[in-house]
A and B are shown apart, each in its own frame.
Chain A
């Protein structure tokens, strides 16, 4: 598709649509920037002053929207938002392409969350300004991946030579798919995939991962306890009720994948426990006091990572 046909875009405009759109070097640039912002927030507090970010959320996600808005405001920028498309022009049948072109005329950066798969790809084609995918259906949520990688790097000091256990819904969990693919690009990563039979990692994702790094270790298990002693990182996800045909299966499986301090006794002392949040029952509140639980820190690091991304895309880094 010729970009020129769709309208003017800023020269060299970059978007963040897919977690693999950025190379490991790109990620490293963002991590270094996020580190320097964390160390000295004042230095970047006015970096985006005079810039305007639009957040277009076609499905609700208060958490993600707040994280982006906090990030932009901490950089001194302004935010305009459409949090409820049901009352806006979208409800009047305007196409996404037209909305994006219009909003791209007002703002310097767009964050889009949309229930349809590939919506951000389409929006990036039409947007005259950089576009960030804040989640498109079941497909991608790249700033969650950015957050996850930054958390691992910050807490473990490295992104290579790690045993990463992922637990829960590996079949439908898009954050898990993106994270596995992104981590596969780093050397010596071993994956332990812990899920009930029904919620195993899809073959299509396994194929992609093996294409990225032939021979990468993907070990499947149904027992969380069995994997814990080896893991450096434990990534927990929510098991959703609507994935199951009957209540009994759901309850049985849900409880099998609940993380408690007892289960964690066998784990390494420097393990980190992550979760994209919100959690429901899969991590017992008793876990929160354990220093290995980093999920709230993860949410905070996500804001710094988004600050770095915004500054980078706006060219003010």
Chain B
């Protein structure tokens, strides 16, 4: 198996559904970071069979609010001093810009592609969002 160094300080995104890692890498814009980032794909996993992992060194201040929408199964491990200090499952963000498109054909966003798609969480339990413009509901 490939070896990637342990990180001293940073974030490890574990249990990413296999094949989903690249999209998450891109959505979080990790290619622009100065400190090392590792994207591991198709890593054997007892839980998932195969999984992707992303190791991001150097910072703890990443905006991870999109993660729950991209892949709700992810575990976020915060690493300090080489140890996992906190493990969290990402929570659905209150407000999402750009990731969801409105499916209502009568919605202004259907004819105005420059409009920033904005959705607001209305029901956490049922994962229901509402289009900021037309009010149409979507379940993510």
Contacts and interface: CB of A to CB of B under 8 A. Distances in A.
Nearest to B137: A204
Contacts of B104: 117
Interface stretch (B8-16, B72-80, B110-118): B110-118
B132 interface: yes
Contact of B108 (A1, A114, A138): A114
B64 interface: no
A117 B109 CA distance: 9
A117 B108 CA distance: 6
A1 B106 contact: no
B106 A137 contact: yes
Given A1-B97, A139-B134, A139-B135, A118 B114 contact: no
Contacts of A136: 108
B107 interface: yes
B112 A138 contact: no
Interface residues of A, number: 16
A118 B97 contact: no
A97 B115 contact: yes
Contacts of B135: 117-118, 139
Nearest to B102: A118
B80 to A, nearest CB: 32
Interface in A214-263: none
Given A1-B118, A138-B106, A117 B112 contact: no
A116 B133 CA distance: 10
A153 B104 CA distance: 36
Interface string A112-124: 0011111101100
A117 B114 contact: no
A96 B133 CA distance: 14
Interface string A91-128: 00001110000000000000000111111011000000
A118 B116 contact: no
Contact of B107 (A1, A95, A97, A116): A116
B56 interface: no
A118 B104 CA distance: 11
A118 B131 contact: yes
28 contacts: A1-B97, A1-B118, A96-B108, A96-B112, A97-B112, A115-B106, A116-B106, A116-B108, A116-B111, A116-B112, A116-B134, A117-B104, A117-B133, A118-B107, A118-B109, A118-B131, A118-B132, A118-B133, A118-B134, A118-B135, A119-B133, A122-B109, A122-B112, A122-B115, A136-B108, A137-B106, A138-B106, A139-B135
Given A97-B114, A116-B106, A122-B109, 5 more contacts: A117-B108, A117-B134, A118-B134, A119-B133, A121-B133
Nearest 4 A-B pairs (CB), nearest first?
A118-B133, A117-B134, A118-B134, A116-B108
Interface of A: 1, 95-97, 114-119, 121-122, 136-139
